[in-house]
């Protein structure tokens, strides 16, 4: 006896979400690199490895924004929310998350 599979309950592969997360993290890495690598004279109180924190936290925030975009896009595809609402909400969440990642990454160094 075979069971009929409902296509609504089948899981999608993780590829599209991973690509959205990588795209969000890549853009965030470019944004924070503009600030971090533009510093000419590093004060001694920042420490030797001051760049590690902003270069890890900001891409993580960008990857989270990419994941949120993917999840909202899935809701749009199911018809739960409008396409315009999905894109605008994703953009707002990504920009706020990117800003928070930059602030948290640069806190204590450039953001004082």
> Nearest-CA neighbor of 67 among 57, 59, 79, 78?
59
pLDDT of residue 4: 56
> Nearest-CA neighbor of 68 among 96, 90, 98?
90
Q: What pTM does this model have?
A: 0.81
pLDDT of residue 3: 57
> Nearest-CA neighbor of 102 among 58, 55, 41?
58
**Residue 8, CA distances (Å) to 67, 75, 80 in order:** 20, 12, 14
pLDDT of residue 56: 95
CA distance 69 to 75: 10
CA distance 71 to 94: 13
pLDDT of residue 48: 84
Q: What is the mean pLDDT of each run of 10 residues along the chain (112 residues)?
A: 55 72 96 91 87 95 95 84 88 96 91 70
């Amino acid at each position: 006896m075979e069971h009929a599979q409902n296509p609504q309950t089948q899981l999608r592969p993780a590829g599209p979400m991973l690509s959205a997360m990588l795209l969000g993290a890549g853009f965030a890495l470019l944004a924070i690199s503009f600030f971090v690598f533009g510093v000419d004279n590093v004060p001694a109180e920042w420490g030797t490895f001051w760049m590690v924190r902003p270069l890890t936290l900001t891409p993580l925030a960008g990857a989270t924004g990419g994941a949120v975009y993917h999840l909202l896009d899935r809701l749009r595809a199911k018809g739960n929310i409008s396409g315009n609402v999905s894109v605008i909400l994703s953009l707002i969440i990504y920009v706020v998350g990117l800003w928070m990642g930059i602030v948290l990454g640069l806190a204590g160094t450039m953001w004082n």
